[in-house]
Structure 1
């Protein structure tokens, strides 16, 4: 019985990065394994949301810390019915209005049974699921979630930057 619990604990604690890939908004894939050793802030986003101006803060956070290793991954989703109709529209909207150059996935489900495997893993192994757009998950360099933040937490706020800086030390 103890061996079963140890095996389950190992499975639940396995790195988040292992095996998770997303469709890249530019084509191809984004493989989270490529970010091993670097903290990653995963943010479910939407183009027609009251929190959409947070794109400015996400880009500023990425600009501030990318040379030290931080990755900010934007995951556009229409789960809350506030995303544009196509990846092309999302990409153009984000480039024109916010000058985004951070990694961005194609439009991706983040909740429910259709959720991307990363978000299913977060829900099943860590009890976390986005409740709205611009929810954030901070992963350490081993792919383990170290903090989650709701929509109201701005990207450059102390709770986020303090955690990022601690991971970059």
Structure 2
């Protein structure tokens, strides 16, 4: 079955570079199609004929579109993508790859990549700690992660157990 809803990411002129970057970060990913601007509509879009208009790509089976729409719109933290990670090595790998070459670390597992797109790199264990029946443990975990940039699973587990972080 074809995916019904596809996120579309608006770039100035970096759609293809971004798609290639994201495909390199995530396993089982590929660029599916690249379309180019023609002469038609140049008075509206202003892009050179032959330049990349849109890229359709998959990240681990999730379909995305990237559009070179010009400098009118920029990314903000109001939209981000969550990456659920099974262990610290996976958290560390995604964090390093997505903050490389000009990306920025943010608080509480958030980061911006070099294109300005926001990501949340979150260990699945955090969801379990925050949604369990032990409210006090959940609050300790929240207090601990509010002090972090990249999540440290061992420190979160210590907070959950009531140990010093």
> The TM-score by the shorter chain falls in which range?
under 0.3
TM-score (structure 2 length as normaliser): 0.25
Query: Larger % of strand: which?
Result: 2
Higher relative contact order (CA 8 A, sep 6+): 1
Of structures 1 and 2, the larger Rg is shown by: 2
